[in-house]
Structure 1
Amino acid sequence: MRSSFSYSDPIRRRPTSLVAVFAAALGLATAFTLVAPAPADAKRRSSPVYVQRQPEPDDPLTIVVSLSKQRLSVFDSKGLVATSPVSSGARGHATPTGIFSVLEKNRTHFSNLYYNAPMPNMQRLTWSGIAMHAGALPGYPASHGCIRLPYSFSRQLFSMTNVGTRVIVSDDPVEPTAFTHPKLFAALPPGKADIPRPARRPDNLGIESAASGVGTISAMLGVTPAAAAEAAVKIAAQTPGQTPGQTNGEMPGHSSATGSGQSDDGPPQRTRAMVMAELQSMIDSRAATLSAREDDVTRSAEALKSLNEKLKAQRVAVYEARAGIKVRDRELSRAEGFQKAAERRLKDFINQQKREMARLQDREDRRRAAHEQDGASDRSTENLLARAEAREQEAQRDAKQRDEAIAREGELESELLDRTHEAEAAALVASSQRNLVAAHEAAQAEITAELVAGRKAFVASKKALEEARTEHKRAISALNQFNKPATVLVSRATGKLHVRQGFQDVYEAPVTIAHPDAKIGTHVFSAVGYSSSEQTDLDWRAVTVTDVGPELPRRPRDSRRKVAAAQPQQSSAPIATADNALSRIEMSDAVRMRIREVMKPGSTLIITDKPLSNETGKGTDLIVERW
């Protein structure tokens, strides 16, 4: 914020000198001997009167600042309201001429560019640092670009204005004057309350109606809430293709009709009630869409929650199944170990029995040989019987050992068979456990895929919800914006028409300008109210802030064609007056109707040779600078 702070500001208290103290003491001593000032002296010493009268209620104000006269004037529909001296930008920091509006108001403000200098009663004109505020007035341009005001008047002006109040800064003093022209815009008629009720009321009608403040806006427009509701019913009862959408601030359902009347075969004349009903119907439609998108998000969230729970349970199942594999593998390993041990014992026993059988067979052979020898021996009978009995006992022991070995071998074979069965069963259980893990993992992968798809669906539903919220807010904003004044700017430099409401772009269209090479001037037309009780025609005030003389074309270089070329061009160059400027602009009936839908008291039409200023941006009105 550019500062105009000065230590010479009369508002700031100066240090008291000893001389001043002495003078004050002397004055106190002689106070009772002084004579009261004459009435003329009292009048001369009183504070200056800047406000001549209070502005008309609800009248839009126009503030005009003359840099050459260092003067600010405030006008309403009745004329001058207040005037005050100012101090604008000094050399090197000149206050730019242009058409501005109040963007921001702050009773207590400090500069963010010039050492936190105080700027009481600040009213911002540009976001780059130009503002009106209280400051020192030395009688000449002395600020860094801002417009300094007397402190007392800055408070009064602060109370008069609103955000959006028009401010014109020009070199020479100008004054709004009453102006009429057939090409000036009119507003739509308010509309009637006797709109017929349809046979069946749509089910989704009325969503968000109370929240959007339709009753308040209806009252502002002179349309009863019942009329607006009936108009909304009428619009909602149309076929689906008849309710147009809204993009880039575009208002719905504009017609190419000029609003001059209604024929039996043609469409009905558009009214403010009809436009408001269309906007309300759009809000209802967007609210229904928003509700559906919220339901989609709720369902997606519930589905995600269910899938997450299923995935959590499935992960537990997979974990437990994988843990079961370890158990089953240990059981299989133990069973296989038992099987191998049984097989090894059987094998060792068989090998041992082979050696033992060989020894038994060797003893059998020795007994047979001894028996044969005893048959041919001459030993005594007693000795032979004893030997035979010993052989018999040994044979019995060997037979018993064979039987025991056979029995033991059977036991070992049976044990091996049991251990083999156990190992096979453990292997089957382990294989089943692995199949179970694979099944659980497949189920987990399937749930994970469903979860990924569910998350994508949830993100898409959230995005659709945000878009629905944006569209719903845009529809509510369009209804709220409908009652705000509009600024229409026609630029000869670009050949385009721009429309803003509430510092937001709502419309743009090309226009045709007669004599496009001749300057058209810069003119501001302000609608200060309705001119009749029908509340359709507007009462306009015009301000021309550029020279109205004709623009002479450049002379051709060929001197022989100088007279022939200059004469017809000079005669055809129109004078850049407000009347001629309006007459030179041509636009289609559709564009005119589109603008008529936003026209109301407080609206402004600007015609200029200049393009939009770089100061025009988010949070600003249409700004024109430096003509």
Structure 2
Amino acid sequence: MLSFKKEYRKSFACVLAGATALSMAAVTGASARDSAPQAEEEAENKAPLHMLVSLNEQKISVYQGLDLIETSPISSGKRGHSTPTGVFSILEKRRKHFSNLYDNAPMPFMQRLTWSGVALHVGKLPGYPASHGCIRMPRPFAKSLYSMTSRGMHVVVTRDPATPESVDHAVLPQPFVPKTEVASLSGETIEADPALRGAIQPASIDSNVTLVQPENPHFDRPLRMIITPQKQPSRVKVLQRLLNQMGYNAGPVDGIMGRKTRAAISLYQEGAELPVTGNVTDALVARIHKEAGYEKPHNAVLRVRRKFRDIYQAPVSIRNIDQEIGTHVFTALQFEQGDSSVEWMAVTAEGERGGASPDILDRIELPEKVSAELSKMLTPGTSLTITDRSFKRNTGLGTDFVVITR
């Protein structure tokens, strides 16, 4: 009998323990389900990640927005194989990778910056530049970094150290917010206008009509935008074309001041009661431009990519185009759909060349239509690079706008 009681108590204890375990599991599962969306929401609300590499300091710095979250020593390219400076993005990631150029050398936690062989990866750090152009990192840091990054993330490589700064400027796009219209129609108004009777439903009387912003289906995909100067047509070519349009035979539009072009200029000068010289002067060009109704074209172009593909292009203008611009990267921080504003940060990729980033923004002129289009497309983490350097175009393998500054 005593044995039976012991077995009964033991069985009851097991059942109770099992019930408790199931209860705890249910609570834990519920807590996990409750906390999962919160964790995802917190991840989504984080500012964009980006990396800054200083070759002179042999250091890589990881920022989340304006906040520095991690740093590490590096070893960049040695003499004859120096690491290029400029604006890059992560094109490819592989946990295990072997070099196609250098004796199948292992490159763990590889994150490719160029298709020509520059990447971030695990490697030896002797305390000075020693690689064949890649950026070597210690294994624990490289592994941690690999878990944080994604394709398309910006990596800016500079000589001297650079830091992101907050910037506020009217040129930088803000989220699109449609205007709200309020319609308030009284019964008396409708009855007084025969055209409204029968066309307005009773529910429309004294109601507020609010335009709702449509959801952006690409809201989780940062845009990559770049503004670069565009080569302008020669002054002589423009003059030849305008003279031909005005009825003067300036010959072919080839930019060459030949006999026909000089004769056309002389004929115009004679008709305009100007000294007949056949020579081109600033005053003559301005007069012909005005008479022909000629407006100078935009001297720069804006290009936009999403997921390594071109999606938009528009002409824009840069004031004082003959002055240096340098290379500047502006990045939109986190915002939600429906927000009316977003903060931006700036990184100067070429030191003092071209001046401070806000001063560069003062020189940019965006047509109103272009600004409106950018506002509609804007997403968190979108970047805008302004540079007078050339950039690498699509390679067929998928790239963002790669700008080499040396």
State the TM-score, normalizing by the size of structure 1.
0.41
Post-superposition CA distance 1:144-182 (Å, at most 9, x none): 110000011000000111111110001110011111111
User: In the alignment, what sits opposite 2:167?
Assistant: 179
Kept in 1, the 8 Å contact 2:123–2:137? The answer is yes
User: In the alignment, what sits opposite 1:528?
Assistant: 333
Query: Structure 1, unaligned stretches of length 5 or more?
Result: 1-53, 193-267, 277-478, 550-574
Closer/same/farther in 2, CA of residues 498 and 617 from structure 1, 3 Å limit: farther
Provide the alpha-carbon RMSD of the alignment.
2.7
In the TM superposition, what are the counterparts of 1:331-342 in structure 2 within 5 Å?
none
Match among 486, 502, 508 for residue 307 of structure 2 = 502
Quote the offset at 1:614 in angstroms. Answer: 5.4
Kept in 1, the 8 Å contact 2:77–2:130? The answer is yes
In the TM superposition, what are the counterparts of 1:127-138 in structure 2 within 5 Å?
127-138=115-126
Post-superposition CA distance 1:522-554 (Å, at most 9, x none): 111111213x895231111111122436xxxxx
Q: SS of the residue aligned with 2:343?
A: strand
Amino acid across the alignment from 2:325: I
Closer/same/farther in 2, CA of residues 156 and 625 from structure 1, 3 Å limit: same
In the TM superposition, what are the counterparts of 1:9-408 in structure 2 within 5 Å?
58-189=46-177, 271-273=213-215, 276=216
Quote the offset at 1:520 in angstroms. Answer: 1.5
Closer/same/farther in 2, CA of residues 114 and 75 from structure 1, 3 Å limit: same
User: In the alignment, what sits opposite 2:343?
Assistant: 539
Q: SS of the residue aligned with 1:511?
A: strand
Amino acid across the alignment from 2:222: P
Distance 2:320 2:397 in 1: 33
Q: SS of the residue aligned with 2:305?
A: strand
Amino acid across the alignment from 1:94: S
Distance 2:139 2:178 in 1: 43
Closer/same/farther in 2, CA of residues 122 and 179 from structure 1, 3 Å limit: same
User: In the alignment, what sits opposite 2:293?
Assistant: none
- The answer to whether the aligner puts 1:581 opposite 2:360 as a matched pair is yes
Post-superposition CA distance 1:65-112 (Å, at most 9, x none): 001111000001251010000000111111111101111111111111
Amino acid across the alignment from 1:545: A
> Kindly, what percent of the aligned residue pairs are identical?
44
Amino acid across the alignment from 1:164: G
Quote the offset at 1:59 in angstroms. Answer: 2.6
Quote the offset at 1:599 in angstroms. Answer: 1.0
User: In the alignment, what sits opposite 1:489?
Assistant: 226
Q: SS of the residue aligned with 1:582?
A: helix
Quote the offset at 1:607 in angstroms. Answer: 0.6
- The answer to whether the aligner puts 1:603 opposite 2:382 as a matched pair is yes
Distance 1:533 1:128 in 2: 38
Kept in 1, the 8 Å contact 2:87–2:349? The answer is no
Closer/same/farther in 2, CA of residues 170 and 586 from structure 1, 3 Å limit: same
Post-superposition CA distance 1:423-466 (Å, at most 9, x none): xxxxxxxxxxxxxxxxxxxxxxxxxxxxxxxxxxxxxxxxxxxx
Distance 1:92 1:601 in 2: 39
Distance 1:127 1:485 in 2: 21
User: In the alignment, what sits opposite 1:622?
Assistant: 401
Distance 2:349 2:134 in 1: 20
Quote the offset at 1:126 in angstroms. Answer: 0.9
User: In the alignment, what sits opposite 1:592?
Assistant: 371
Distance 2:321 2:43 in 1: 39
Closer/same/farther in 2, CA of residues 506 and 71 from structure 1, 3 Å limit: same
Q: SS of the residue aligned with 2:391?
A: coil
In the TM superposition, what are the counterparts of 1:2-13 in structure 2 within 5 Å?
none
Kept in 1, the 8 Å contact 2:66–2:166? The answer is no
Quote the offset at 1:613 in angstroms. Answer: 2.5
User: In the alignment, what sits opposite 1:405?
Assistant: none
Distance 1:493 1:82 in 2: 39
Amino acid across the alignment from 2:221: K
- Structure showing greater radius of gyration is 1
Distance 1:55 1:150 in 2: 26
Kept in 2, the 8 Å contact 1:55–1:81? The answer is no
Closer/same/farther in 2, CA of residues 134 and 191 from structure 1, 3 Å limit: farther
Distance 1:87 1:615 in 2: 29
Q: SS of the residue aligned with 2:359?
A: helix
Closer/same/farther in 2, CA of residues 55 and 64 from structure 1, 3 Å limit: farther
Distance 2:319 2:66 in 1: 34
Distance 1:269 1:524 in 2: 34
Q: SS of the residue aligned with 2:332?
A: strand
Query: Structure 2, unaligned stretches of length 5 or more?
Result: 1-41, 181-209, 232-299
User: In the alignment, what sits opposite 2:352?
Assistant: 548
Post-superposition CA distance 1:255-309 (Å, at most 9, x none): xxxxxxxxxxxxx978343xx5xxxxxxxxxxxxxxxxxxxxxxxxxxxxxxxxx
Closer/same/farther in 2, CA of residues 88 and 270 from structure 1, 3 Å limit: farther
Distance 2:228 2:400 in 1: 15
Question: How many residues are aligned here?
Answer: 269
Amino acid across the alignment from 1:128: S
Distance 2:373 2:144 in 1: 37
Distance 1:133 1:543 in 2: 24
Of Structure 1 and Structure 2, the greater strand share is in: 2
Amino acid across the alignment from 2:377: V
Amino acid across the alignment from 1:76: Q
Distance 1:578 1:614 in 2: 24
Distance 2:64 2:85 in 1: 21
Distance 2:155 2:381 in 1: 13
Amino acid across the alignment from 2:60: L
Amino acid across the alignment from 1:181: H
Distance 2:179 2:101 in 1: 51
Distance 2:178 2:74 in 1: 42
